[in-house]
Amino acid sequence: MKPKGNRIKWELLKGRKTKGAVFRLLAPHANQVSVAGDFNHWDTGAHPMKKDQAGVWKLSVNLAPGSYQYQFFVDGAWQNDPENVERVPNPFGTLNNMKRVKY
């Protein structure tokens, strides 16, 4: 028998629809790139990206409909998404990008 807490979490996730939100960054000289945001508690190790032969780092993340703040973490430094002009202030006096996921 599953613990009650796990069952409740599973029931909540079961009804939640998700969609792949694609993140891309042109950074051919970077060694490591990840995307971090409020969808992964700003964990820079949670969503590492893969680089293609053209130097574009890509990752698809399943997200429920809504608005998500994020930034790229490139070789140990935060970087905004130059292709996304939608930005919001953060508590550190800089800006985060905003991604909106819709169906």
* Count of structural domains within the chain: 1
Long-range Cβ contacts of 75-82 (<8 Å, 24+ apart): 75/30, 75/31, 75/32, 75/33, 76/32, 79/25, 81/23, 81/25, 82/25, 82/26
**pLDDT per position as a tens digit, 56-89:** 999 999 999 999 999 999 999 999 999 999 999 9
Q: What is the pLDDT of residue 20?
A: 83
Q: What is the pLDDT of residue 103?
A: 75
Q: Is the pTM of this model over 0.95?
A: no
Residue 71 domain flag: yes
Residue 46 domain flag: yes
**pLDDT per position as a tens digit, 4-62:** 444 433 344 445 566 789 999 999 999 999 999 999 999 999 999 999 999 999 999 99
Residue 4 domain flag: no
Q: What is the pLDDT of residue 90?
A: 96
Q: What is the pLDDT of residue 42?
A: 98
Residue 8 domain flag: no
The residue segments making up the domain with residue 63 are 18-101
Residue 33 domain flag: yes
We report the CATH number of the domain holding residue 37 as 2.60.40.10
